[in-house]
Copies of this chain bind each other. A is one copy, B any other.
Amino acid sequence: MKQYKVAILGATGAVGKEMMKILAERKFPISELHLLASERSVGTVLEWQGKPISVELACESAFEGMDIVLGAAENDIAKKFAPAIVKAGAVFVDNSSAFRMDPNVPLIVPEINPEDAKNHNGIIANPNCSTIITVTAVNALNALSPIRTMIASTYQAVSGAGAGGPIELAEQVEALRTGKSIETKVFPHQIAYNLIPQIGGEQFEGYTSEEMKMQNEGRKIMHLPDLKVSCTCVRVPVVRSHSISVQMHFDRKITVEEAREVIAKAPGCKLVDDLAKKEYPMPLETSDQDIVFVGRIRPDLTDENGLCLWCCGDQVRKGAATNAVQIAELLIDKE
């Protein structure tokens, strides 16, 4: 089996570290793993599969000879290095939002549109975390009858803001316990025992950038150019796993039984839907996993062609690192 030279751009962040873990877990065929980061982290030694790897400087020459570069950095870093990565002949699987809506860049959830990956020109984008979790949950329904509209309200964990998110939540909980003053750095307001109904800046008609991703990325992934989505993104004091309350309107009526049946069989999904037994997706039970849990499937009481459901998934794994590694798996020779 062919072995690949892989680099992680932004290896020292929460998503970068998770990518290292998932490459090992999924036994990705790697001959060399390079961990790239900014000057500040150069020389840091991280352990991978029992061996130490020194973090190297992310610079244009660092991509020479690489087959695959997994991007776990911010948009500006992704934009800065993309030309050098492509020029080096590597494929850039990028987790930032820099290239997601570029018509020349495929946007992939491997369970949904793996064939789109073939049309890449050196860059493949990894979608937004809440979007990945939601489309993984609803795509089996979309195959039954196209989704025309979605109303989504998210409940997003603090780890979605990077490694600093859980630290800030823990520090605030501790400050409250010990009577110290609350500091806010990562989030715009206190998140401990609070909710913040803003993720990202304003983008369109009062919707934030994070809220618009559900519509715009959802259209591209599910091949639904006319999909309309109204999304409300809310940060909640949960450490890990995003949850989404979704109402969908279809061309035809889909019964709850039909929906349960296709979701139970859908790749990447687990049906957890028994209210009488108090069984439904919850962040705690979906963390550190790659599966999107789906439950609370009900007829929409406002629209006979509608359905409501609740889904949960680990946004650091399936919502970011695992999905990126799954995309990389589409690129390799499996012989």
B308/A230 in contact, CB under 8 A: yes
What B residues does A236 contact at CB under 8 A?
155, 195, 236-237
A301/B230 in contact, CB under 8 A: yes
How many angstroms between the C-alpha atoms of A2 and B239 in the bound complex?
55
B195/A243 in contact, CB under 8 A: yes
What B residues does A208 contact at CB under 8 A?
275
> Can you list, as one digit per residue, whether each of A282-314 has a CB less than 8 Å from chain B (1) or not (0)?
111000000000011111111100101010100
> Can you list, as one digit per residue, whether each of A230-255 has a CB less than 8 Å from chain B (1) or not (0)?
10101011110001010101000000
How many angstroms between the C-alpha atoms of A207 and B309 in the bound complex?
11
How many angstroms between the C-alpha atoms of A208 and B301 in the bound complex?
13
Interface of A is mostly: mixed
A198/B275 in contact, CB under 8 A: yes
How many angstroms between the C-alpha atoms of A277 and B302 in the bound complex?
34
Taking A155-B155, A234-B155, A301-B215 as contacts, is the C-beta distance between A193 and B229 under 8 angstroms? Answer: no
A229/B302 in contact, CB under 8 A: yes
Stretch of A21-29, A70-78, A146-154 with 4 or more beta carbons under 8 angstroms from chain B: A146-154
- For residue A278, CB closer than 8 A to chain B, the reply is yes
- The 8 A-B residue pairs whose C-beta atoms are closest, nearest first, are A149-B302, A153-B153, A206-B298, A153-B245, A228-B302, A232-B245, A194-B284, A188-B278
A193/B308 in contact, CB under 8 A: no
Report the minimal beta-carbon distance from A284 to chain B, rounded to whole angstroms: 4
Report the minimal beta-carbon distance from A277 to chain B, rounded to whole angstroms: 10
Give me 25 A-to-B residue pairs in the complex whose CB atoms sit less than 8 angstroms apart, sorted by A's number: A150-B302, A151-B308, A153-B232, A155-B195, A190-B284, A193-B237, A193-B283, A195-B238, A197-B280, A197-B281, A197-B295, A201-B275, A202-B275, A207-B298, A207-B301, A215-B301, A229-B301, A229-B302, A230-B247, A230-B298, A230-B301, A232-B296, A232-B308, A234-B310, A247-B247
- For residue A189, CB closer than 8 A to chain B, the reply is yes
Report the minimal beta-carbon distance from A209 to chain B, rounded to whole angstroms: 11
B283/A194 in contact, CB under 8 A: yes
Please indicate which of the listed interface residues A153, A190, A298, A308 has the most CB atoms of chain B within 10 Å of its own CB.
A153
Q: A153-B232, A198-B275, A230-B302 are in contact. List 18 more A-B contacts (CB 8 A).
A: A149-B303, A151-B151, A151-B300, A151-B302, A151-B308, A189-B278, A193-B237, A194-B284, A197-B310, A201-B275, A202-B276, A206-B297, A230-B298, A230-B301, A230-B308, A234-B310, A236-B236, A245-B245
- For residue A205, CB closer than 8 A to chain B, the reply is yes
> Can you list, as one digit per residue, whether each of A170-207 has a CB less than 8 Å from chain B (1) or not (0)?
00010001000000000011100111111001100111
